[in-house]
Amino acid sequence: EAQVTQNPRYLITVTGKKLTVTCSQNMNHEYMSWYRQDPGLGLRQIYYSMNVEVTDKGDVPEGYKVSRKEKRNFPLILESPSPNQTSLYFCASRSVRGASTGELFFGEGSRLTVL
C-alpha cells in the first residue's frame, strides 16, 4: 500500500529536549515536504526537498532542521523545541515526473506538544 508514514503520531515533550519526527514514503517520490497546521493559519510549509541531499526552506523554517540522506526518508529535527512549536505536523511527498497535477500525498500527522 502506497503511504507516507510519520512517527511518533503523538508526543509531549519539554522545552529544549531535542526530538526528531521521522517520515518515510514507499512511493519512490523525489519531492518531500514538511508542513505544520495551526488554528487560523492553515498549513504552512517548513522545509522541502526536491531529491536526496537537496533541501530548502519553506515559509516557517526557524527552529527546525531537516536532512535527506535517502530518498524514502525525510526526518524533521527540533534541536531545542519551544512552546511555540506546539502544533500538528504533516509530512508529504509527490513524484516530480509525469503529469504535474501537484498532488501531494500526506502522512497522518504528528501532534507535538512542547511544555
Partner 1 sequence: DQQVKQNSPSLSVQEGRISILNCDYTNSMFDYFLWYKKYPAEGPTFLISISSIKDKNEDGRFTVFLNKSAKHLSLHIVPSQPGDSAVYFCAARPNTGFQKLVFGTGTRLLVSP
- Report in angstroms the alpha-carbon separations of 21 from 9, 71, 99, 109: 9, 16, 30, 10
Q: How far is CA 95 from the centre of its chain?
A: 16
Work out whether 41 is an interface residue with partner 1 (CB under 8 A).
yes
Contact window for partner 1 (CB under 8 A) among 12-20, 51-59, 67-75, 76-84: 51-59
Task: Please tell me the count of residues contacting partner 1 according to CB under 8 A.
Answer: 28
Listed residue (79, 37, 69, 19) closest to 45, CA to CA:
37
Q: By CB under 8 A, tell whether 31 contacts partner 1.
A: yes
Q: Which is nearer to partner 1, 4 or 114 (CB)?
A: 4
Question: In this structure, are residues 25 and 32 in contact, taking their beta carbons and an 8 Å threshold?
Answer: yes
Q: Which is nearer to partner 1, 54 or 115 (CB)?
A: 54
Residue 50 in the binding site for partner 1 (CB under 8 A): yes
Residue 44 sits in the site that holds partner 1 (CB under 8 A): yes
Backbone angles phi, psi at 19, to 5 degrees: -145, 155
Among 81, 94, 112, 114, binds partner 1 (CB under 8 A): 94
Going by C-alpha positions, the residue among 100, 87, 86 that lies closest to residue 43 is 87
Contact residues toward partner 1 (CB under 8 A) are 4, 31, 35, 40-45, 48, 50, 56, 58-59, 90, 92, 94, 96, 100-109
